[in-house]
Amino acid sequence: MSDEIRKDTTQGKIKDFETKSQALKLMGGEKQIAKQHEAKKLTARERIDLFFDEGTFQEVQLFVQHRSTLFGLDKKEIASDGVITGFGNVNGRVVFVAAQDFTSAGGSLGEMHAKKIWKVMDMALDARKPFVSLNDSGGARIQEGVHSLEGYGGIFYRNTICSGYIPQIHAIMGPTAGGAVYSPALADWIFMVKNSSYMYITGPDVVKAVIGEEVSHEDLGGAVAHASKSGVCHVVTESDADCIEKIKKLLSYLPDCCDNPLPLSESSDSPDRLCTDLDTFIPDKSNRAYDMKKIIKSVADNNEMFETHELWAQNIVTAFIRMMGKTVGVIANNPRFYAGVLDVNASDKASRFIRFCDAFNIPILTFTDVPGYMPGTTQEWAGIIRHGAKLLHAYSESTVPKITVITRKAYGGAYLGMCSKQLGADYVMAWPTAEIAVMGADGACNIIYRSEISKAEDPAAKRAELAAAYEEKFNNPYFAASLGIIEEIIAPRDTRKRIITVLDALKDKKLSRVSKKHTNIPL
């Protein structure tokens, strides 16, 4: 008698199942895997192994196959139809995932590939857990024609339904071209890997054919281009492993869904810690630059922050920090870049961040040092009115606890735009260095005292004298404090302590708006 297990026995069937599963799990096979590694990319399965806590990944629909018969596909097997889907634990919390595998038909998206993604997105929505997509795909599977397009349509629809309900994070870890870029674009966060990922509507060849422009993949749609020029990419990463690590870090700040509590981390920092470094931080001359990130880090638990859009619209900072272990979203002008002015990109960057925080009940902390909106034709024609309005809208509609700290300049419309009291800030604090006014002293005097200055014997001396009087009246926090526009003037060293106290007081804030379908944010 042979030791071989007969196929028609129970043992034989189990063995057959295991053999088939193992073969499928190899995805595109050894040769394609070697090619993937040569390109300094991990396979989808290796990425999943890095992402989930060991032994927790549960694969869904491993045995799905395409059913296309056109253009030779009837003779081509594509393991798991080129995408691994499932769920598992990330630092103990459930997350759903779709990971496209470039080793199987270039991770191209056909009908069944898309349906697998629909399935895990639907599960994530029903289970109210985050959805993460690891993209590495040649785009719509050309042989499947309109089936592929339908597949994308169903994904876009689900991205939109999930928006504001569960966090959605996309990592671009290889090609993402054509309509495929819009699923990431509809999600909350896009991570890209330097030198091995790119996103564009059309690649360099089409660009050359249509408009005659010559450009490389990397310059057109690489991580740095999208992180610094277009603002499409929120986080640039160095490698696949770094990308996975950073996604896990971001997830650690986020709740599972919009009405679940925020994750609470153990904090080794003290609520009473004084930030004495901040007392000497603001330069004596108010036109000198400083780096706002140092203030954010100084007040944050263990001086840690997770910055998004680090390289784009650097005149405003958006970041997550923790205060006594709980997530807080920070929006802050950064005088180190263009004096912290508000422009089109800064307004877009901050507005989207505010709306994310509000959707997921993350309190908003704003640091203000803003000289105004950027003037000039470039900004006007780019629609600073339309884009700047987003910021007013986003702050006004948000109902989470909102705390504002004015460190220095808070001028004009930009003062209002940076979460002023009238946009619904619950608590506004100002440092003694704050200047809360319609505009800076020189500009104001040039307008209100124009004729007086021009008639003066020494116009420069007269302007200086009038500007000093204006500064004494308005370029300080006391006039605003006397009107109750700010709640408190605080010493910089007390900033962390005061924020923690106010956040604690506001932790049960509940605000409802008039009932309607949704607002109509200026876009």
**Catalytically active residues, by annotation:** 178-179, 413-414
Q: Which stretch binds ligand HXC (CB under 6 A): 10-18, 116-124, 171-179, 413-421?
A: 171-179
CB atoms within 10 A of CB 332: 24
Please say which residue, 197 or 420, places its beta carbon nearer to ligand HXC.
Answer: 197
- Site membership for ligand HXC, residue 147 (CB under 6 A): no
Residue of 177, 257, 362, 392 interacting with ligand HXC (CB under 6 A): 177
Shortest reach from residue 211's CB to ligand HXC, in Å: 18
- Site membership for ligand HXC, residue 139 (CB under 6 A): yes
- Site membership for ligand HXC, residue 140 (CB under 6 A): yes
- Site membership for ligand HXC, residue 371 (CB under 6 A): no
Q: Which stretch binds ligand HXC (CB under 6 A): 19-27, 139-147, 228-236, 314-322?
A: 139-147
3-state secondary structure of 11: helix
| Interhelix angle 441-448/459-474, nearest 10 degrees | 120
| 516 φ/ψ angles, rounded to the nearest 5 degrees | -165, 175
- Site membership for ligand HXC, residue 141 (CB under 6 A): yes
Q: Residue 262 is which amino acid?
A: L
Please say which residue, 150 or 488, places its beta carbon nearer to ligand HXC.
Answer: 150
- Site membership for ligand HXC, residue 138 (CB under 6 A): yes
Query: What residue ranges in 52-147 does DSSP mark as E strands?
Result: 58-60, 83-90, 93-100, 131-135
- Site membership for ligand HXC, residue 197 (CB under 6 A): no
Residues 102, 36 contacting (CB under 8 angstroms): yes
Helix, strand, coil percentages (3-state) for the chain, rounded to 5, are 45, 20, 35
Site string for ligand HXC, 101-120 (x = CB under 6 A): ----xx-x------------
Shortest reach from residue 171's CB to ligand HXC, in Å: 17
CA distance 330 to 122: 31
| 4 φ/ψ angles, rounded to the nearest 5 degrees | -65, 135
Shortest reach from residue 123's CB to ligand HXC, in Å: 23
CA distance 107 to 116: 13
- Site membership for ligand HXC, residue 178 (CB under 6 A): yes
Shortest reach from residue 143's CB to ligand HXC, in Å: 6
Across 400-413, b (16+ Cβ under 10 Å) vs e yields bbbbbbbbbbbbbb
Shortest reach from residue 140's CB to ligand HXC, in Å: 3
CA distance 71 to 179: 22
Shortest reach from residue 70's CB to ligand HXC, in Å: 12
Shortest reach from residue 159's CB to ligand HXC, in Å: 12
Shortest reach from residue 172's CB to ligand HXC, in Å: 13
Please say which residue, 140 or 295, places its beta carbon nearer to ligand HXC.
Answer: 140
Kindly give, in sequence order, each residue whose CB lies less than 8 Å from that of residue 55, ignoring residues fewer than 6 positions away.
none
CA 481 to chain centre: 34
Q: Which stretch binds ligand HXC (CB under 6 A): 136-144, 469-477, 484-492, 504-512?
A: 136-144
Residues 120, 86 contacting (CB under 8 angstroms): yes
- Site membership for ligand HXC, residue 142 (CB under 6 A): yes
**70 token code pair:** 């056109």
- Site membership for ligand HXC, residue 221 (CB under 6 A): no
Residues 88, 95 contacting (CB under 8 angstroms): yes
**32 token code pair:** 């394609």
- Site membership for ligand HXC, residue 180 (CB under 6 A): yes
Residue of 145, 154, 179, 424 interacting with ligand HXC (CB under 6 A): 179
Please say which residue, 100 or 237, places its beta carbon nearer to ligand HXC.
Answer: 100
Please say which residue, 105 or 132, places its beta carbon nearer to ligand HXC.
Answer: 105
| 369 φ/ψ angles, rounded to the nearest 5 degrees | -150, 85
Shortest reach from residue 108's CB to ligand HXC, in Å: 4
Residues 446-485 that bind ligand HXC (CB under 6 A): none
- Site membership for ligand HXC, residue 300 (CB under 6 A): no
Please say which residue, 135 or 366, places its beta carbon nearer to ligand HXC.
Answer: 135
Q: Which stretch binds ligand HXC (CB under 6 A): 41-49, 176-184, 346-354, 378-386?
A: 176-184
CA distance 500 to 23: 54
Please say which residue, 197 or 366, places its beta carbon nearer to ligand HXC.
Answer: 197
Residue of 149, 185, 289, 324 interacting with ligand HXC (CB under 6 A): 149
| Cα 394–Cα 410–Cα 438 angle in degrees, nearest 5 | 105
The residues pairing with 198 across neighbouring beta strands, listed in sequence order, are 175, 222
Q: Residue 246 is which amino acid?
A: K
- Site membership for ligand HXC, residue 145 (CB under 6 A): no
CA distance 190 to 184: 6
Residue of 88, 175, 371, 388 interacting with ligand HXC (CB under 6 A): 175
**499 token code pair:** 């924020």
Question: Could you tell me whether strands 402-411 and 58-60 are parallel, antiparallel, or unpaired per DSSP bridges?
Answer: unpaired
Kindly give, in sequence order, each residue whose CB lies less than 8 Å from that of residue 173, ignoring residues fewer than 6 positions away.
41, 42, 47, 134, 135, 136, 193, 196, 197, 240, 243
Please say which residue, 103 or 333, places its beta carbon nearer to ligand HXC.
Answer: 103
The residue ranges that bind ligand HXC (CB under 6 A) are 105-106, 108, 138-143, 149, 152, 175, 177-180
